[in-house]
Structure 1
Amino acid sequence: MLTRVNYAQLLFPDFSLILLGYLVCRYTQLNRPLWEKVEALVYYLLFPVLLFHSIVKSPLDLQVASRLMGAGWALGVAAIGLAYALPHLPGLRRHISGPDHAASAQIAFRFNSFIGLAIAERLAGPQGLQLIAVLIGVCVPLFNVAAVWPMARHAQRSFLSELVRNPLIIATVGGLISNLLGFQMPVWLEPTVTRLGAASLAMGLMAAGAGMQFGALARAKTLAVAVLAIRHVITPAMAWGVSKLFGLDPTQTTILLAFSALPTASSCYVLAARMGYDGAYVAGLVTLSTLLGVVSLPFALGVLRGL
């Protein structure tokens, strides 16, 4: 089992890139107008390539992983339902604005797939990578659709139109279909695609930092606490129950628990900003979620796994 220090070391690169983007934007001539162009590049080209490649490169064995897939979907639907319900809960509705909730609901259920891949490999080797690839393949399309829906609805845009034009959804659905059809990336193209994916991670995290304003979190503290509690406390607890319900074996249970406690996806900021919402607020939530991952991962893998 990984120690707490291992989790901190694993999360440090993401957090340090967010911090670097913040410092560069605030204290150099590489200011906000430049980073708006970087966001567009990441959103429309680099991150879709990364998503497609990450899903395609690990073959999915649907028969072997059917229980894990069901558990992942059940956990995801429950987390999405909780996130959507926040403005309707007694005591919360008057503290949560529609636009802020539409942009930040995704924080509660989306996840950082690359931290997930690294943790899965350390926990269970090649089998862990295979299992986390299954969860990525079946959950990313669901989560991206769920992330877009409240923003499209609140902005009174056509939900179907937003889906078919959303490059992240196109890439994830295309990657899943290609994986199931047995598509393999040509060897000559693999290095280029890998480099584009690596660039999307670094630039996306730095763009999140460049748009970050911690002051924005102060005006919607209730919402911030609620979505982060779902992401880092409630979802891991639900994952423990779901693993028992679906009868997962110990390795599958370990991977599902790790999956449930991951920091949220750094692309939450990019999606919110490109759809016209408060990117600074969402970037602050991404940063806090990255920090909280240092606590939620040991909680899931140390405390819950031992129950």
Structure 2
Amino acid sequence: MLGRVNHAQLLFPDFSLIACGWLLCRYTALNRLVWDQVESLVYYFLFPVLLFHSIVRSPLDFGATSNLLTAGVGVGLSGIVLAYALPFLPVIGARIDRREHAASAQIAFRFNSFICLALAGRVAGPEGLLMIAVLIGVCVPMFNIAAVWPMARHAQTGFARQLARNPLIIATATGLVANLLGLGVPTWLEPTLSRIGASSLALGLMAAGAGMQFASLARGKLLAVSLLAIRHLALPLIGWSLAVVLRLDAAQAAVLMTFSAVPTASSAYVLAARMGYNGPYVAGLVTLSTVLGIGSLPFALALIAR
């Protein structure tokens, strides 16, 4: 199991890139006009290429990981249900802004696939990478659809039309189909796609930092606390319960707990901002989730160690 210091070191690059974006936007000539264009580049090109490449490059062995896949989908669906239910809960629901919730519900169930990939290999070896590839291939399309739905519904822009036009959903669905058909990326193209993927992560995190306005978090504290509690407390506990019920082996349980406790996806900010919602609020949640991951990852892995 990884120690707390190692988790902090693993999350530091993400946090530092967010901080760089915030500093550059506020204290240099690289102001909002620049970052608006960066967001468009990330949303319409860099992130779609990253998602397609991440899914298509590893064969999905559903048979060998059926129990893990069941548990992972169970964790994801639990996060979606809990996030969607917040506006309808007694007391809490009346104090939650529905538009802010539509944009930020995704924080509760989406995950940072890069951190997942980095950790899976360290907690479960090469086998862990194949396991997490299966979870990414199945859950990324599901989570992207779940992220778009409340925003499309609240804006009354037509859910089907938003899905058909959303570049992240198109890329993930195309990648999953290509993977299932056995299609791969030519070897000569791999380095280019890998570099595009790396640039999308860096620019996406910096754009999230550039868009942060912590004052917006203060106006939606209850919603922020609720979503982050689902992401970093409820989902690890649900993952641990499913690991026990489904009798996952040690490697599968370690991968599942990593999947359930990592910070939320950095692309959450870009998606919310490009769909016309409060991007700064979502960017603040991405930052807080990255920090909270330093505690939730050791907590989750400690559960299975017991």
Counterpart in 2 of 1:163?
163
1:245, 1:73 → 2: CA distance? Answer: 14
Counterpart in 2 of 1:250?
250
Counting only pairs closer than 5 Å after superposition, residues 170-181 of structure 1 correspond to structure 2 as 170-181=170-181
- Which amino acid in 2 is paired with 1:200? S
1:29, 1:243 → 2: CA distance? Answer: 50
- Which amino acid in 1 is paired with 2:128? G
SS of match in other structure, 1:188: helix
Counting only pairs closer than 5 Å after superposition, residues 145-156 of structure 1 correspond to structure 2 as 145-156=145-156
- Which amino acid in 2 is paired with 1:6? N
Counterpart in 2 of 1:76?
76
Counterpart in 2 of 1:306?
305
Counting only pairs closer than 5 Å after superposition, residues 14-163 of structure 1 correspond to structure 2 as 14-163=14-163
Q: Deviations over 1:89-134 (max 9, x none)?
A: 1110121011100000000000000000000011111101011111
- Which amino acid in 2 is paired with 1:306? A
Q: Deviations over 1:127-177 (max 9, x none)?
A: 010111111111111100000000000001110110111111111111111
- Cα displacement (A) at 1:306: 2.3
Counterpart in 1 of 2:10?
10
- Cα displacement (A) at 1:221: 0.2
- Cα displacement (A) at 1:198: 0.7
2:112, 2:75 → 1: CA distance? Answer: 16
2:181, 2:284 → 1: CA distance? Answer: 39
- Which amino acid in 1 is paired with 2:2? L
- Cα displacement (A) at 1:51: 0.5
Counterpart in 1 of 2:280?
280
Counterpart in 2 of 1:226?
226
SS of match in other structure, 1:58: coil
The total of aligned residue pairs comes to 306
- Cα displacement (A) at 1:187: 1.1
TM-score of the superposition, structure 2-length normalised? 0.99
Percentage of identical aligned residues: 66
Q: Deviations over 1:34-60 (max 9, x none)?
A: 100000000000000001101111111
1:295, 1:139 → 2: CA distance? Answer: 24
- Cα displacement (A) at 1:285: 0.2
- Cα displacement (A) at 1:83: 0.2
RMSD (Å), alpha carbons: 0.7
1:270 aligns with 2:262: no
2:122, 2:158 → 1: CA distance? Answer: 42
Q: Deviations over 1:166-221 (max 9, x none)?
A: 11111111111111111111011111111111110110000000000111100000
Counterpart in 1 of 2:236?
236
Q: Deviations over 1:247-306 (max 9, x none)?
A: 21111111000100000000000000000000000000000000000000000002x112
- Which amino acid in 2 is paired with 1:146? A
- Cα displacement (A) at 1:246: 2.1
- Cα displacement (A) at 1:72: 1.2
Unmatched 5+ stretches in structure 1: none
SS of match in other structure, 2:188: coil
Unmatched 5+ stretches in structure 2: none
